[in-house]
Each structure stands twice: as structure tokens, then as C-alpha cells.
Structure 1
Amino acid sequence: MFISYAPQDVELRRELEQHLAVMRRQGLISAWHMEHVAPGQRWRTLVDSHVRSTQLILLLVSASFFASDDCHDREMARALERWQRGEAQVIPILLRPSDWEHTQLGRLPPLPDSRLPVTSWPSRDEAWARVALGIRHVVERLAGVQAAHVQATEHAAVRSRRVAVALGASLAGLAGLTALVLLGARTAPGRSAVDSVKCLSASRCFERAAAYQAGDDVPKDEARAARLYRKACSGDEARACTRLGLAHEDGRGVPVDTAAAAALYRKGCEGGDAVGCGELGRAYERGLGVDRDYALAAELFRKGCDGGSAWSCAALALAYAHGRGVSKDERRTAELSRKACDGGNATGCAEFGLSCAKGRGVSKDEALAAELFRKACDAGDALGCKYLGTAYLNGAGVPREVTRAADLYGKGCDGGAVASCTDLGILHLKGQGVPRNAARAAELFRKACDGGDMLGCANLGFVYRKGDGVPVDLAFAFELFRKSCDSGSAHGCGFLGHAYDQGVGVEVDLVRAVELLRIACDGGDPSGCVNLGVAYERGRGVPVNLTRAAELYQKSCDSGIAVGCANLGYAYLNGRGVPRDLTRARELYRRGCDAGHPTACDYLKQNPK
């Protein structure tokens, strides 16, 4: 087995090898990589030799991997050539987020099979375990092919009356798992594992499979469960087809095969299993084993929901919420999420709670929203925990308890809701509900950013810009701001606009700064509105317009931004863009001070009446 990786990912490669240690000790695999090159050896020659000769090639995928000419142009290119000729198995291992799906690797099923990079999992050990299991399945499949070839050789030897010699030579030529598979296969010659399964009916096979899968009154045996599901599926038990599809998607008892999973979901759906329709919709939504098609995904979610699948109702609600495959519709989002919640789906409860909290498609009811968030969180929905944390942070429907909010954000973050990691990071950065810990905040922002939360990327850029908990790195901060903004984060655009205004990691460009701050403000970032107001007040990138500046300060102040209130107070104090009004100015300075702005507090101290 050859492992290709970028130098920046050496520690992750070592983690992978630790999780492959069981297979190595069992003699199933032997890995080679750059660290095996001795000083003075011609490393390129050695690498080329292993890429040309090994049967299994692991490509450890990250942005650094694609940036490396050796990894991308030599090792990956040659590996894919051998894969196309059927000479080698190639597995992309997703280490860190990257644009891998738009490369040639997008044609290959990756590990982890969820397509979530290893560094983005709440538990990295769990991610590596899934990777190791997927590799084991491939190794077993390769060994099975070798064993079949050796058996054919043995049969020929029998016909030529050289049984003992042929058998001895064949077994001696097998490595590790190959010999084990051969010996195991001989215990039931001429019969497949599925053929040996006996069931009185397809439904009985399904019940036995479910028992083996769960370890319910029998030893847990996912491989046997998969065989029984296959038997039941062939007997037109639609639910079994769906369950077998899930096993193929997750690599439970069978090799990972997303195309086979999608085909089984289709068979389950066509056989009347509503869950199968929902799972097939998810495959189309994510492009798992089929080409991505949001409209078809929505139709399948609808079919599953109509058939009684609460999960499908929740998925369809999210499609309406985000306009994926259907037009955005807040009323339909609320109706479908309520239906999902009533059907016992925790995600539906969280989404319906969000509708109630925002008054989208239903009457605003913060108390009901908090109850729905609690129900979702208690049922294990990580986003439900995040939403409940925000309710406690803001005192929306529940008493304001920042410590409780931090606990809930932590639960959401640990459960995989990366946006909750960002929220918890902000509390650590501010010292609210938890002791101030900028280094911990940076860790949480990085985890969120690696998991795809663009607000996390923006905040990670912020701490690198300030050098708070991490060393100052203005160039890296700028790249994080750009990544966040390019992915649609209004806050990211706000930070990026300010970077262009101040020349942080880039040359000053006031016109570009104003463009980005306008995008940020219009997109809901109140800090972007403050900075855009400053641009109008000072004529930075736009003509001076004090009235517009005051309007933008008002907008940010209404959103709770302290500096927006202080700046607007100054405008009223001096009649800049608004009529001079000392009473109004004092009210705004009070709001700014209460929100933590020191200049506003200084004004109140100097002007007690």
C-alpha cells in the first residue's frame, strides 16, 4: 500500500497509520511512504516504483495536497492512470476541507464515506475508525480476488495430479489476508454466504437482520445482518433494500459503495418504503452515488413525507427554507417541520422552533421556540442545542443565562454543529459565561472553519489579525476573510471590507472596501453597517454623506452594536446628519455604555446630568 501526502499533513498521516496498526499487525497490509526513504536514496525513483507496483494507493487529500506538484502532478496523476486501467485501487482520504470534488478525484468514493473531512469530525478517532474500516473492506475485496485466482490455479493442479505441490506453493505465495480468505472460502465450496441464509419469509429475514444489526438477543454481527437484508430485499421486502443501502453507504458489514446504496434506496422507494424515498432524496441532494439534483431530491423527500417518513418531512422543510430544488417558502417550512416534529423527528423540532423564534411562516412565539429547541436538544439534535443556547444567551423565551448558553453551545459543538463551535468561541473570546481564553477561542473557530462554517473562518481571521490567542498573521487573516466572504458570509465580507480599508494583509483599496461593507451591511452584518457609516462620515471611498452615516449607525445600534450607538450619540450631540438633540445623544451614549463601549461610558461620567 502506497500513501501519498503533503508534507504539511505528516501528523495526520501518522494518525492514520496508528488506526491501521491492527491490520498491519495481522499481516493484512504493509504501507510505504516518503518517510521510508533513506538519506542519499533517489526518492523520486522509489516513489515512482511504488506507485507503479502497489495494488492499493491512498491519497491524503487537503488543500496542501493539491498545492504540491509532486502529490498532484506525479503521484495522483499516475495513480489515476493505473486506476483507469484497472491495475490498482485508489482511495482519497479527506483530511482537511478542500475543493476535491471538482478535481479528477471527484469520480472516486472517498473516506470517510460521509465526505466530511477527518479534521471536521467532533471525534477525530471516530473519523479514523471509519476510514480504517473502509480500507479493511477494500483490502478484503482485493484479497478475495487473489484467493479466487489461486483457487483456479489449485484446481488446474488437481487435474494434473500435483495437488499437494500446487496447494503448498499457492499458500506460500499469498500474503496475510489472502491466505486467510482462501482458507475461509474453502469451508463452504460452491456456495455464497447469501445462499446459506435460511428464512421462512422475506419479512422474517428482515427481522433477523435487524436483530443482528442491533445485537438484540443475538451477538451483534453487521456482516450477517447485511446478508440477511440482501436476502430479504431479493424477496421484495422494500425496507430491507433501504437498510442494505445504508449499510453500503456506511460500510457496515459490506464494502462502502455509494452507487450501490443509491440503487438500493431506489428499489426500496419503488417498493413502497417511505424511508427509502427519503434516503434516495438525500443521495441526490448530496451527490452520493448519483449526480446531484436538488429538484429530484425535493420530489423524493415529498414522496417520503407523504408516505409517513418524519425525517423526509424535515428534509423537505429544509429544502423550502433554503430554496434547494423548490422556491423558498417560510409557511411550507413551518408546516413541514411541525409535521416532522410531531412525527418524532428532532431536526423537525429544531427547525420548527426556529420558525417560531423568528416568526417565519407562523406567529412569533419565543417561549414555544425554546421548548422546541429543548425537545430537539434532549433528543440528540446538535442544532437544537445551539438554538437553545442562543435563546439563553439572549433571554428569548427563557431567562438570560450566559453560563447555560455556553454549556449548550459546547454540547452542540461536540454533537457536530460546527456553527455552535463558533458561538462558543465567541464566548471564550469575550469571557462571557466562561473564563476568557483566546487560545481556546481560536481552536473552536478553526474547528468551525474546517467544518465549513464561514462565520468561524471570519472569526479565526479576526484573532489572527489581532494576534489574540495566536500569532499575528495578517496575510492568513486576509485569506480567511476572503474565503468567508466568497462563501456568502456577510460577516466575512465585513471583515474583508475593513481589511481593504485599513490595508490589513492587502493594499488599501477604499472603493473595494465600500463595496464589501455594503454587501456585509445588506446581508445582515451590523458591524459592516458601522464601518460603512464611518466611510460615509469621513468620505473614505464615497462622498461625505452625514445623513447616510447616521442612518447606518442607527441600523447597527438597533442590532445591539455598541459603537453604532456611540457614533450615533455623537452625531446627535453635534448635529451631524441629524438635528442636534442632547437628550437623544445621552440616551444613545447610555445604550452604548451598557453594551460595553468605553467612550460612551466616558461621556456619561463627564456629563452626569
Structure 2
Amino acid sequence: MYRKLKDALALLFLAGICGTAHAQAPDGDAVMELHRSGLAFDAQGNTAAALPAFTKACDLGLPAACTMAGLIEHEAARTTDHHMRAARLFAKACRAGDDLACMQTGIAIGPLSRASSEAPGSTMVLALLAMAEECRHSNGEQACVDTAQLLGADEEHEADLVAARAYAERGCEKERFAACAGVAMLPGKPRTRAETVQRNVALCTGGWAGGCDALLNPLMAGVAGENTEHHLDVLKGVCEQQLGIACANLGLYFSHGPEDARSFEMARSYMRLGCDEFVAKACFAFGVMHKKGIGGPVNEARAVSLVAHSCELGEPKACFTLVGIAAKADDGEAGGIAASEALRRACRLGDQVSCEAQRL
């Protein structure tokens, strides 16, 4: 089994079959309808029909569909190829900014980890398995992102060998493998701050959410210093190129960043742009803004519609919120989604409170 995994990973690294995260923008309503058909089949328990719909929508650039396809593949996985296919789907959605998919990338690789496999036969395989293992533990968010980025390495977005060495070294500390001898051949010198910013800019402009998030973090903490305008300019430029996560990040910055930088009107505008590009958390935030009148007028009907759209795009908080709204409606629905279905989706997307409620 492990030899098959090793061969599959070798193909990933050498041929870059995962592709880049900078997919073509989805064709709006047509792709959403394809995704919705997958959701309808999934609600009926017909995953055989749901999977091709999600896979096609994923191929057309809808991250939420990649996540749903990955969930189905992961749940039915029986072979190495199935596990890796699920991991690739999750990784693609993660690189586009789907936080759930990032965690699921590590989980999908879990059955193939060192704990149940022979010793890794290459340093890069060792690094990937170590990344996935750290991803599955608390505070492993960065490891999840690094896992997805390594799975998506290609000629344009080369593997982060500095990060790979750090994970591989930690893996070697736990158990000695033959592959550990190759760790020393990877770049070991940490990047300077300038080099780190340069790489994050390259990733973000190339459509990788991890790079955009890395540019946002110091802005939110107010520690970007002289790089503040540069980071903002990069995010604005990428947003203009219709990469939704960059728009959503700007919306977050102008709504929850340093007080002297806040502009709720700008935040609302950027959240709308992020939602237009199918970023689930941007749609949810945009809905909350309509509900509370943040940065613009109150529009409760629009708020419900946006929360429902966010739920369709895989935001568990939106689905759980929709449960309460639908439960109070005369027809038991909100945004065209029944309370029971919203609860099922929230649980399916990892919301444990919803799973507990389903069992009651």
C-alpha cells in the first residue's frame, strides 16, 4: 500500500497534477446550479449522483464544490488512490481559501500516515506526512495550509523547501527513517522578513489563499509597519483580478482591523466582492452586515438570502444560523433551505453542536 502512496506522491511532485489554486473564475449562475444539483443529490443520500456534479463544478473553479467532492471521496475511500484523490480535492479548495478544506486535507492523508505505513522512502513524502500529522492536531492550521500548498506544488508555485525541512526534521525526531538522511540536503536557512514577504506576495498574486492570509495577518495585528501600504496594494490588486479571498481579507481588515483603519462602508463593499467570487465566509459576513446595518442600510430579507448562499458554499456557521431562522418561519424554511437540511449540512461540514442536535 505504501509503495502505491509513494508512487502517487512522486507523480504529484514531479508532474504537478494537482494544478494551481488560481483557477478560472466560475461562470456564475450556471456553476452554482451545478453545485446545487450536487447538494440536492447529497441531501437524498445519493452520493453517486452528487459526486460528478460536485467534481464538474470544482473543475470549473468553485471551491465549495471541491470540498463537497472531497468529503464524498473521503467517506468512501478504500484505496490509496481514493485517499489521495480526496486530499487533492480538499487541497484545491484550501488553496482558494476554504478553511474547512484545509483541515480535511490533513485528515484525508491520515490513513496513509507514518503510523500505519512503512518508513517513508523520500524526504518530501516524509515532510508531507509530518505536515498532515501536525494538521490533525490542535493549533495545526499552518500545517494544514502547508500540506495543501505542498500538494499543489508545480513549476509556477514551487514547493516550499524551507518549510518542508522543518516538518521533516520534526518527523525525524520522533522516529528515524532512511529518508531522514536527505533532510540535510533541503534549504535550512530561515527566510528573512523581506524574503518571506516576497514569497507571500508571489503566492497571493498567483491565487493562493495562504499567501493572501499571510499578508493580512500583520495588517490585522497592526504590526505591518512600513509594509502596510504594500500589503494593502497587493491585496487590492489581487481582489481586482477577482480572487475572492483577497477581497474578503480586505473586508475583514476594514471591519475588524486597527481602529484607525476601519471603514465599514469599504468593508461592506469588499465583502460583497468576496461573496460575488463565491467565498462562503464573505457571504456570511455580508449577510450579517445587512442584518445589522453595518456600512449600509438594514435589509433583513437580503441578509437571510446571503446566509443561505453562504450555507450553500459550505460555511457551517451560516448553516447553523439558518436553522434558527428557518425554525421560526411558517413554512420551516429560510432562503429556500429547510431547517432540517440546514442542520444536516452544518453537521456534515463539521459543526459538532449541530451533530449533537441531530442526535436529539
TM-score interval, smaller chain: 0.3 to 0.5
TM-score, structure 1 length as denominator?
Answer: 0.30
The structure richer in helix per residue is: 2
Higher relative contact order, structure no. (Cα contacts within 8 Å, ≥ 6 residues apart) = 2
TM-score, structure 2 length as denominator?
Answer: 0.47
Give the number of the structure whose alpha-carbon radius of gyration is greater: 1
